[in-house]
Structure formats: C-alpha cells, structure tokens
Amino acid sequence: MTIQIVTAGRKDVDEFFKLSDVFTAERLNHTPLLVFIATEDAVQVRLLDHAHDLLSLPDETSVMGQWRGTMHSDFFQFTVGQYRAYAEAALAPLKSATQVVKVVGRQGGIKRLSFEYIDERGIRVSKSVIGKAEIERLTLFFHAEGIPVALELSR
C-alpha cells in the first residue's frame, strides 16, 4: 500500500529558510515543525522543536513550518532534502573560518564562539555567536572540517 502525503502551504521556501527565525531559534516553543513520516499503513505526525533534528530524517520526508508574520502567519511546505541543501549551502562559507575561539566561563559554562570567515562575496566577516545549541552545532561543524577551535577562559 502506498500512502501519499499532501500538504497545503506556500512553496516559496527560500525566503522562509533565510528570513524566518525557525532555523536559527534555539527551540521552537510556539511554532514547532510538523514532520510527516509514512509507513506501510499509517502516517505519523511528529512535532520537532529543533530544526537541526530534521537532518536526521530522509530527504523525501514532508515537513510543514510556520512563520509568524506581523499581521498573519504563513505555513510553508518543504522536504527535508530542500532544507538539507539550504543548510549545507549556508555552512559552505564557514569552511574558510579562522581564529575560531570558544569562550567559557570560570565554571565551564559556554559564553560565546567567535570566528572570522570569507563570505560568498569575498568579504572577511567577524562573527560572534551566543546560544549554547548554536555554539555546539558550529563547534561540531568546525571539528568535522578540521578547523581548530581554541578555548579561552572568560575574564
């Protein structure tokens, strides 16, 4: 038996990926992502409150996301594969990162991650990131790319 999942929502996901806070938020408390997982005889709907959890699913998995606007909310439909392509493209410039420093507090708490990289226009960018989940995600990325991450104790 084949189950077809039909979702209704906007399909212009490029702006949704770039401009919404859905993919940068530490946790999606009010607008979780809806993920539709089909088996032979059922469709399971999962709620994900972390966008990076999408990357553990197959590319063909259907997803619905909500973007809260100023006057109304829009719902977007996409696949994990579309998001994976966007996420990989967004990280591509960070492969040029240098001077990566993870600043930790005296009791070991993470304060920030700072680094420099060359963006897609060839401009050197200095960036500092806060938020534990994003720091951990980027630290793992830098390690996977063989980019050294220095530790510095906060003053």
Report pLDDT digits (tens) over 108-139: 888 899 999 999 899 999 999 988 878 888 99
Non-local (6+) Cβ contacts of 108 within 8 A are none
pLDDT at 155 over 80: no
94-103, 128-137, 142-151: least confident range: 128-137
Q: Are 5 and 78 in contact (CB under 8 A)?
A: no
What digits encode the pLDDT tens for the residues 45-72? 999 998 888 999 999 999 999 887 666 7
pTM strictly above 0.85: no
* 50-86 burial: b if 16+ Cβ within 10 Å, else e: ebeebeebeeebbbbbbbeeeeeeeebbbbbebbeeb
Helical H segments across the chain, by residue range: 13-19, 80-91, 132-144
Q: How large is the C-alpha radius of gyration of the chain? A: 18
